Structure 1
Amino acid sequence: MGIVAAITDFPTVDRIFWTAFAICAAPVLYRIIYNQYFHPLSRFPGPWYAKSFSVYGALVSVYEREQEFLSSVVKKYGTDLPIRISPTSLFFPGPSALKDIYWNPSLNHKTKLYGTGALGPPHLFSTIDGEAHKQLRRALSNAPWTIGQLKNRWESRFDTLITLFIDKMNEHASANRTICISDKVAHFAADVMSMISFGEPFGCVANQRDEKQILENWRKGLPFFGFVARCRFFRDEVMRIGFLASWFLPTFDSKQGMGWLMAEADRQVTQREKRNAEEKFKGMPDFMQHCVEARYQDNTPLNPVQKRAHVTLLIQAGADTTATALGSILRFLVATPSSLARLSDDIAQADKAGLLSTPIKYEETRQHLPYMVAVIKEGLRLNPPAPNLFGRVVPAGGKVIDGIFIPGGTEVTTHAYTMQRDTGLYGEDAEVFKPERWLVNDETTLEYEASQFTFGMGPRVCLGKDIAIMEMYKLLPEIVRRFDIQLEAKGTFVVSGGVAYNKGFLGKFIARKSET
């Protein structure tokens, strides 16, 4: 009675405040208690705040701290059990879970992270259903993104672009100009992807700028993509309300960025289809031609939206990510003089022996520059360009993953940046840039390669993987062959929305004197 009397003695405003507080606090408290002790995933370790609210992971992404957060939970909870990083998500930190998650056909259903609409119209990357993805990928199976087609049909086009890139860098070197190296290689990557997609590069290398600000606008959209993909309530509830979704989704300017890219795809696909109707296509098919000609098993073509969405897919998914790989590898080399010296010597020796063309061919790097290959693999290990939470949904009835039963409906994932620093596999120096680790013996190399998640794996492996590898195997050794690099600012490796890019990597290219 005393407590009741005390409460009723409160002024009316205070009673209203405490009542409102109790009404608001009760569901929050219930959510915490349920997720901690009664949820089907309650037995798995993880920070209580991440286990209770998906918004925590969303904010971690917005503040560009996802890799640090995941590294910290691995350090705290270890690798024996998957770690719960949201109310419905388990993170497997060790490489032993890769095969069970990404090669199992029953786990080929993506999480809703992919279906937010933040990446524009739906395409292969954002197709959630496994069977639908299988049929769509089969329809596009002849597209020019495999290493065989790239070598046979496109390498000479790569060579032309590399020659132009080297000429432009020589101009900067002659002027003793400080440049943003990470931006320059990004221009090259954007031109490669636009060349394969549309037949001709956009001119980023020729004009030494981010044409139509495609890269800049892509990066600006990453924080929103990261938030909406990770905050379950926002993703599943708010984004389902039509007028709210349209209000939150990014608007596109038809004069620049992704808006211009989609408008350009529409324009060029329309023109290409009109020309194809008038006469049979002549010349080397680009990706746009493959999209126009693509057919499902029942011989039906892609619909108009699919055609246009897929023409831009390689540029969206591959331009800035490949640029990140190129920039990161160069920065690792410049910051590790012993590695750069060894690589420079290897290239000089192969050059002197007449083993290298100008520009260097893909097969020449693969066969005659093993240390260059090791440098690339090590750079990708430490700085994967898209260390996203590529989750899969466990089917009804549950599944055993890495020896542990996981309930149905759980979102399971791994993380390339964290997993590829596993000290159990790479040793106590796992954080160190050490290309030599890839040259110890064939058995070790195979074990490392089986544990790489840089490009994903399984039936949804990265579409542009071979294009990116072709770029790295050709451009990077040519840069080291032609220039010394004077570092002025290392810059930073930024991860936003699960996608990485380099910012502020500054230096000067110093042309090497010819020995002839």
Structure 2
Amino acid sequence: MLLDNAFALAVQYWPLVLTSVVVGYLLNNKFWKGLNKYPGHWLAGYTNWWRFFDVYGRKHEYTVIRLHREHGDVVRLGPNVLSFGDPRAIKVIYGLNKGMIKSDFYPVQNAVSNGRRLQSLFSTTDEDYHAKYRRCVNNAFAMSSLVNYEPLVSSTLGVFLDKTEQLYAQTGRSCNFSQWLQFFAFDVIGDLTWSKRLGFVEENRDVDGIIAFLNKFLSYAGPIGQMPILDLFLEKNPIRLFSQRIGLTKSSFPVTVFAQSRSNERAGEIQKIKQYGLPEDKGNGRGVDLLSKFAQAAHDHPNFMTDTQVLASCVSMVFAGSETTAISLSSVFYFLLKHPHVYAKLMAELDSAVENGTIEARANKSVSWAESQKLPYLDAVIQESFRLHPAAGLILERIVPPQGMDILGNFVPGGTIVGCNAWVLHRRPEVFGADVDVFRPERWIEASSEKQKEMRGTMFQFGAGARTCIGRNVSLLEVYKLVPSFLRRFEIELEHPQAEWTTHNAWFVRQSDFNTRFRPRKD
């Protein structure tokens, strides 16, 4: 009887009941776990919808920079989300054996094949799974493996330089430089992963629409990752995935189909490696590609490294290996062109290195990895570009263990999402100087050895700790080879010198409206 009366009253006064529930929900969010003591945007404490819409606005990195400058080292980005701006928090949040795990932001980025998610090293939240997976493939990405990969990168680099001359330098045509660099990065990934360029550079087009798909998918993953439950109603809808598994629909991510097709072309060879292991000397002079290394991992760890893991590893190379490297390359060239005195100083270093024999005078003007490591101003320019425009534009989320933990004097309750944003860390005046918003490579030359160590320890473009980007060495190899080689081969100028490029924070902060013209550079 009492329940009947309560139900009747609720129905009669439903607007008041609904309002009370909503208000109660918002207040619970605001004061949840005592996080209301941390400042931030006034809406952030009440709902994650604020974070969703700010990320959807594609300029979230500047929002977080502004909030930290206004409110200090700890900023609330959501009811259960804190951003830490003090570089000392890196070791606490991302250090080894801290009990932190990745949040549900990352599984949103799982690729899908036949209705099943492909857990990658990047997207998995299972730390035990990650540790086993990483042990299987770690050797493939070690710095010592660069000697194997450099011939593959050099092969694509040579084609890229020649096509640049043919398509742009000799014709005077305007070049969409960001896209052209992404074509290069994709073909490098093809050569590194499958020993086969994928045709982006030779055909000067987006092969199979993969880049368009990645741009669309990352634009989806950035905001949806702020409220991961939305993904279960959209891309990872359980009904949709089930219908794919039983064959009612045939839908896989285009990037998965792309990677599977490339791998199938070498199915016989890969099966032999899985069964017998890699021969000691392949004898082709081009180095051992990543697919072969993944297959070797399957031979060494057959109970874990299944065909699914091999495919997921290849998909990860396509997902992360091209986008971040292309962003970094665009940043280096853009900042050089916007700062002519830096451009001139770097060219002087390159010319001097050729004259004194530090760089071999090759016919195609290419520069080796070893040679690039002897060029201090080149390193300063690249580091400063990494600093001012890191690829990732959101915090790298981690979940505080159930017992809670102290982060730089702040006790943070268990279950809270915490993280650091590279755009904030890279603009700390006490680390990089008062002119943190200025592109000034000299800061890396002038710094003492102790200061250099502090600056490099604060750099966060590849993440930190056990979940540091496993492909960082491959990316560095591409950047340090392409930049000096391209500059030696061509003179570059902006098509519209006064115009600024456009950035789009789709989780990775990619660039557009970066149009250039090239001329062959005389010796």
Instruction: Give the alignment's TM-score, normalised by structure 2.
Output: 0.87
The whole-number CA distance in structure 2 between the counterparts of 1:290 and 1:280 is: 9
The one-character-per-residue Cα deviations of 1:36-88 (angstroms, maximum 9, x if unpaired) are 23533222222231111112212212220211221221122122xx2110111
Name the amino acid aligned to 2:86.
G
1:154 counterpart residue number: 149
The whole-number CA distance in structure 1 between the counterparts of 2:272 and 2:298 is: 19
The one-character-per-residue Cα deviations of 1:440-496 (angstroms, maximum 9, x if unpaired) are 122221110000100011111101101111111111011111221120145535343
Name the amino acid aligned to 2:394.
N
- Partner SS state of residue 312, structure 1: helix
Report how far residue 24 of structure 1 moved.
3.2
Report how far residue 339 of structure 1 moved.
0.4
Q: 1:205 aligns with which of 196, 201, 206?
A: 201
Is 2:88 the counterpart of 1:99? no
2:354 counterpart residue number: 351
Is 2:82 the counterpart of 1:90? yes
Summarize the Cα distance change of 1:103–1:232 in structure 2 as closer, same or farther, 3 Å threshold: same
Q: 2:258 aligns with which of 257, 261, 267?
A: 261
Is 2:461 the counterpart of 1:454? yes
CA contact (8 A) 1:361 1:474 kept: yes
Summarize the Cα distance change of 1:116–1:288 in structure 2 as closer, same or farther, 3 Å threshold: same
Name the amino acid aligned to 2:352.
Q
CA contact (8 A) 2:60 2:393 kept: no
- Partner SS state of residue 285, structure 1: coil
Summarize the Cα distance change of 1:508–1:131 in structure 2 as closer, same or farther, 3 Å threshold: same
- Partner SS state of residue 412, structure 1: strand
The whole-number CA distance in structure 1 between the counterparts of 2:379 and 2:297 is: 34
Report how far residue 242 of structure 1 moved.
1.4
Summarize the Cα distance change of 1:464–1:240 in structure 2 as closer, same or farther, 3 Å threshold: closer
Is 2:58 the counterpart of 1:64? yes
Name the amino acid aligned to 1:71.
I
1:317 counterpart residue number: 320
Summarize the Cα distance change of 1:232–1:163 in structure 2 as closer, same or farther, 3 Å threshold: closer
1:512 counterpart residue number: 521
The whole-number CA distance in structure 1 between the counterparts of 2:77 and 2:170 is: 51
Instruction: Map residues 366-385 of structure 1 onto 2, 5 A cutoff.
Output: 366-367=373-374, 369-385=375-391
Summarize the Cα distance change of 1:38–1:111 in structure 2 as closer, same or farther, 3 Å threshold: closer
- Partner SS state of residue 448, structure 1: helix
1:126 counterpart residue number: 123
1:178 counterpart residue number: 174
CA contact (8 A) 2:149 2:288 kept: no
Summarize the Cα distance change of 1:502–1:252 in structure 2 as closer, same or farther, 3 Å threshold: farther
2:20 counterpart residue number: 26
Name the amino acid aligned to 1:387.
G
1:9 counterpart residue number: none
The one-character-per-residue Cα deviations of 1:257-315 (angstroms, maximum 9, x if unpaired) are 42542442562464444454798655243211222232599752422222211122112
1:135 counterpart residue number: 132
CA contact (8 A) 1:269 1:288 kept: no
The whole-number CA distance in structure 2 between the counterparts of 1:262 and 1:149 is: 22
CA contact (8 A) 2:331 2:385 kept: yes
CA contact (8 A) 2:372 2:481 kept: yes
Instruction: Map residues 196-345 of structure 1 onto 2, 5 A cutoff.
Output: 196-234=192-230, 242-243=238-239, 257-265=254-262, 267-268=264-265, 270-276=267-273, 281=278, 283=282, 284-295=287-298, 300-345=303-348
Summarize the Cα distance change of 1:429–1:296 in structure 2 as closer, same or farther, 3 Å threshold: farther
Report how far residue 181 of structure 1 moved.
1.1
CA contact (8 A) 2:153 2:191 kept: no
The one-character-per-residue Cα deviations of 1:191-229 (angstroms, maximum 9, x if unpaired) are 111211112121222222222222221001122211221
- Partner SS state of residue 187, structure 2: helix
The whole-number CA distance in structure 1 between the counterparts of 2:236 and 2:354 is: 59
Q: 1:360 aligns with which of 355, 367, 375?
A: 367
CA contact (8 A) 1:139 1:296 kept: no
- Partner SS state of residue 42, structure 1: helix
- Partner SS state of residue 367, structure 2: coil
The whole-number CA distance in structure 1 between the counterparts of 2:266 and 2:82 is: 41
User: Which runs of no fewer than 5 residues in structure 2 stay unpaired?
Assistant: 1-8, 113-117, 244-248
CA contact (8 A) 2:108 2:224 kept: yes
Report how far residue 22 of structure 1 moved.
2.8
Instruction: Give the alignment's TM-score, normalised by structure 1.
Output: 0.88
User: Which runs of no fewer than 5 residues in structure 1 stay unpaired?
Assistant: 1-14
1:4 counterpart residue number: none
The whole-number CA distance in structure 2 between the counterparts of 1:72 and 1:252 is: 45
- Partner SS state of residue 45, structure 2: helix
Name the amino acid aligned to 2:378.
M
CA contact (8 A) 2:100 2:401 kept: no
| Percent identity over paired residues | 26
Name the amino acid aligned to 1:191.
D
Is 2:158 the counterpart of 1:163? yes
The whole-number CA distance in structure 1 between the counterparts of 2:170 and 2:251 is: 37
CA contact (8 A) 2:32 2:79 kept: no
2:397 counterpart residue number: 391
1:189 counterpart residue number: 185
The whole-number CA distance in structure 2 between the counterparts of 1:333 and 1:216 is: 27
- Partner SS state of residue 76, structure 2: strand
1:464 counterpart residue number: 471
- Partner SS state of residue 90, structure 1: strand
Name the amino acid aligned to 2:402.
A
